[in-house]
Structure 1
């Protein structure tokens, strides 16, 4: 498979998987009303989705080493598409959350295979550059998904959001089935997958950049978990107004990902990553100050977050690339493990944000600031890059 085809397939599948995170968020109050549940319970749908993404990632990676990339990607797309089609059929919040878990499991396989396919085709600074395209697909889904979901909700109802996503995902599986993937021969020297993962985790060169990427990702997850309630209840935004917020958020992440694509070969990965984490910290801290000093001004809540998103778009693809370089084992294992760590952290952070759920903005802003400080410490103590 040519590298351009790899990029098209991976970006498209990542786009679909990440839509599952954000596309339904504007409809959250309507979903809660139709299910006869409190909005705070339905808001756990994001955390459950992230748990579903995290738990099987190591399994997806090890299975792809044995069965190949294509069967695993097809299985993940099929599971993701069918769970989307089934989700509107549930009549209780328990059914909704269960299907969100299954949805996340399918998205997990899609996410792992996208990163592994990119890793199969690129290396070094070019790997960071290629992963920036994955970041672009991620943020377009994250931002446009909210707006698209709000439009579908108003025109057809929230059920149509999941029906449409399921149908497109199954169509993508049909397209992937007609593409030829290279057969790679990689070996872990007879070790079990779990021993390989344990060995990778012991290397600071892998662990610290992976943690830095996951902590920055946690800022985005925390905001997406708590912001719908804050903006629609405290600031009295409509679903359409909240959906429109996706555009500046998307623009921030898009510009950051394009900056990685344009400058990483000249500037270097570590310098760009440090700048990115500094922006995440600055944006989160400004959001905290604004939510405490001028709590009635929505602009001081969402605009600093856009700067944090820009910083994370610099940080994330580079964190994946550096973690892959710092791994002592080649193959899908490092990408699967970094993805597992990121989703596990995201699910835990999403749960924390749900527990802190409030119409006030400062608890969310304080959590984001603490996450950014931790990410900065990870970057500070990363070992020197080996040439």
Structure 2
């Protein structure tokens, strides 16, 4: 029962954090007009959010290990809520980007503590199965958030998007405050945080899966950064039409996350990762070909991306599970470090995608293809099971995921 409660709370908090990434995307052109700036500058809001998520992740992990999961999660939810509530008050692009950074800092703590709480309860293939529920939360936020944002913008203006998100975050913090989490395990002779992070970074069994997950995640970040301006620009989509795109994207990610949840115990993590990488590469390459030779057809741009999203939904929970099982240090450190690597890569990729914003889709498609190729090369080194690994995967534990 405690494991189920933990899983429900972590899924809800991850949902809140990921909404901050997708819910405002349909409103980017309107935000640019109200702030009297260029839309390409507003697109840097994604990079600012991702930088805010990346930079403090190691700090959040260390803090969660020292003072406990619950107070850190509450602090992160509070920062996230305040960032959302304050954002509509700003009148300049500088204040918009600064508050997006603050949002990201809060989302960083939420993301780290959610994964750490899952890691406290599960391991091996069951960890991948549990993390697939976080992926489902992610994709629901990706689709519903985008569509909800378009509706809020049309009805009340873009400011309402952040006001609703801030109020919901405060409500989530109240719920968390009423839940009792397990006490911290007693770890005698515990090394310093930075010593633990250094030890983990020296293990290839941790790094390679983390890189695969980060590169696949980068494909989604790159698309979310540039696609709103491309589809609402050269393809003349409205904000509502772009919001509707969230549904096929969500369906693709949802199906992949469900596939991990259903088949990982029987298929094994490495095989699922290989399939996912192949799908991300195939989708990105098809998107590139379509953008070069079918430039007037939006379906050749967004439909192949949905296949890439399906592939990434296979990759992400498996990459987190493999990376953390391969880490030599237990506790919050491995989860925080893998999250830091993913968000740092996402911030860099989001910045590159912002620089590539243009009236054509092929620069974005080329970036996605290069990222997928990088993921494929990393996956080649971890595709084969270890000698002591059974076909079903890694170590089981007594608690399951239902």
CA contact (8 A) 1:188 1:196 kept: no
Which residue does the alignment assign to 1:364? 364
**TM-score computed with the length of structure 2 as normaliser:** 0.95
1:183 aligns with 2:183: yes
CA RMSD, 1 decimal: 1.0
Which residue does the alignment assign to 1:137? 137
1:160 aligns with 2:137: no
Which residue does the alignment assign to 1:278? 278
Task: Find the residue that maps to 1:102 and give its secondary structure.
Answer: helix
Moved more, 189-198 or 151-160: 189-198
1:329 aligns with 2:329: yes
Between the aligned partners of 1:37 and 1:362, the Cα distance in structure 2 is 25
Report the CA distance between 1:192 and its aligned residue: 1.5
CA contact (8 A) 2:128 2:264 kept: yes
Task: Find the residue that maps to 1:359 and give its secondary structure.
Answer: coil
Between the aligned partners of 2:184 and 2:110, the Cα distance in structure 1 is 19
CA contact (8 A) 2:270 2:385 kept: no
Mind listing any 5+ residue stretches in structure 2 that lack a counterpart? 390-402
Report the CA distance between 1:186 and its aligned residue: 4.6
Matches within 5 A, 1:147-296: 147-187=147-187, 189-296=189-296
Between the aligned partners of 2:217 and 2:189, the Cα distance in structure 1 is 33
Between the aligned partners of 1:112 and 1:259, the Cα distance in structure 2 is 24
Which residue does the alignment assign to 2:92? 92
1:23 aligns with 2:17: no
Between the aligned partners of 1:76 and 1:10, the Cα distance in structure 2 is 13
Report the CA distance between 1:188 and its aligned residue: 7.5
Report the CA distance between 1:384 and its aligned residue: 4.7
Structure 1 segments (4+ residues) deviating >4 Å: none
Mind listing any 5+ residue stretches in structure 1 that lack a counterpart? none
Moved more, 73-82 or 182-191: 182-191
Between the aligned partners of 1:357 and 1:99, the Cα distance in structure 2 is 22
Between the aligned partners of 2:215 and 2:90, the Cα distance in structure 1 is 33
1:101 aligns with 2:136: no
CA contact (8 A) 1:188 1:329 kept: no
Between the aligned partners of 2:32 and 2:187, the Cα distance in structure 1 is 48
Report the CA distance between 1:144 and its aligned residue: 1.3
CA contact (8 A) 2:272 2:314 kept: yes
Task: Find the residue that maps to 1:179 and give its secondary structure.
Answer: coil
Between the aligned partners of 1:360 and 1:44, the Cα distance in structure 2 is 18
Which residue does the alignment assign to 2:318? 318
Encode CA deviations 1:124-176: one digit per residue, 9 max, x unaligned: 10000000000000011011111100000000110000000000100110110
Distance 1:278 1:32, change over 3 A: same
Between the aligned partners of 1:156 and 1:7, the Cα distance in structure 2 is 34
CA contact (8 A) 1:210 1:320 kept: yes
1:11 aligns with 2:32: no
Report the CA distance between 1:187 and its aligned residue: 2.9
Report the CA distance between 1:189 and its aligned residue: 3.2
